[in-house]
Structure 1
């Protein structure tokens, strides 16, 4: 990842930072969908430089990374964000600085699922009754705690273009020792194993 574009959200009294994330990230996602390869993966990733887990906050900046200037130019984020110019500042393509803090993975987190769905899977996998499997999940305090943990993480409310339903795009972060592109990035610019530079 040698080049990046930085977006800065500019909230005001009428447009909160949370609502801006919803509008801006929907457009970024659409731009990335147009760039996806045959395997539905991308060579373009994102970072949230002001990400703060303890504040459940993504901050107000987004960096979009690519290996070449051409990849970022063809993404054409200015066009996708044209209706939001009063609320987002899009800088020109820049080279990633040589001095880095390290590397990190910004990944999508999922809820574990309903007790009923998990019980059906457990019953089938272990050849036990559905009632036994359901009882296991209803008494599982550790699982309930881990479900609450997902909601600790910052998220962006997204809207499905297919169904029109809204859903949380929950974003986790972990630091890594080096830059890796082992799996590419999703059409959200996120990946659990591919990393981006931190600075």
Structure 2
């Protein structure tokens, strides 16, 4: 059960945009969670908004106080301390509601999907175009963070979706990005 949280707030920087800083911070967090095999820390973005589409300037970590203390004692923020202000670990407000914060994946590029199908199935461009019509392409309207895959080295957009507000928490684990489609975080 998540009882505590800590806010990491981006410091203004005239040379680096907030989305770029958030991506770098989130990559560092992901690496630390993978390295230390942490599945009990969830993340949220308190300034999350669909209009305008943004994750905001704050990353909130949720978990047990001891786990958050151990994570923050690690050196994963090295090199980012000039750009990030870490708050103190605090109790979650008793009146908080709960929700899931999850990764959302979209089929965003029809041409890429067709090329992939041609490689995998040995089809011609015409066959792939018939199998994958232009209507499958979706233009996501969710906020995202731009990060680099540790396995392939390729940059990608990690789209973030929010589940509905719930009155009761749902316990469980989070992935190495601190996200889950079933386990909730306190939302306040």
Q: If the TM-score is normalised by the length of the shorter chain, which range does it land in?
A: 0.7 to 0.9
Give the corresponding residue for 1:174.
163
Contact between 1:153 and 1:171, CA under 8 Å: does it hold in 2? yes
Contact between 1:105 and 1:195, CA under 8 Å: does it hold in 2? yes
Give the corresponding residue for 2:18.
17
Task: Report deviation, 1:133.
Answer: 7.5
Contact between 1:78 and 1:90, CA under 8 Å: does it hold in 2? no
Task: Report deviation, 1:11.
Answer: 2.4
Deviations 1:50-77 (A, max 9, x none): 00012110011111011x2111112126
Q: Secondary structure at the match of 2:56?
A: coil
Q: 1:133 to 1:13 in 2, by over 3 A?
A: closer
Runs of 4+ aligned residues of structure 1 deviating over 3 Å after TM superposition are 115-121, 130-134
Q: Which has the higher helix share?
A: 1
Contact between 1:105 and 1:174, CA under 8 Å: does it hold in 2? yes
In structure 2, what is the Cα distance between the partners aligned to 1:77 and 1:6? 15
Deviations 1:100-136 (A, max 9, x none): 2x11111111123714657999x9xxxxxx9778525
Contact between 2:100 and 2:185, CA under 8 Å: does it hold in 1? yes
Contact between 1:119 and 1:134, CA under 8 Å: does it hold in 2? no
Normalised to the residue count of structure 1, the TM-score between the two structures is: 0.79
Q: 1:171 to 1:188 in 2, by over 3 A?
A: same
Contact between 2:114 and 2:128, CA under 8 Å: does it hold in 1? no
Give the corresponding residue for 2:100.
105
Q: 1:8 to 1:77 in 2, by over 3 A?
A: farther
Give the corresponding residue for 1:7.
8
- Give the aligned length: 179
Contact between 1:47 and 1:62, CA under 8 Å: does it hold in 2? yes
Give the corresponding residue for 1:32.
33
- Stretches of structure 1 lacking an aligned partner (at least 5 in a row): 124-129
Query: C-alpha root-mean-square deviation of aligned residues, in Å?
Result: 2.5
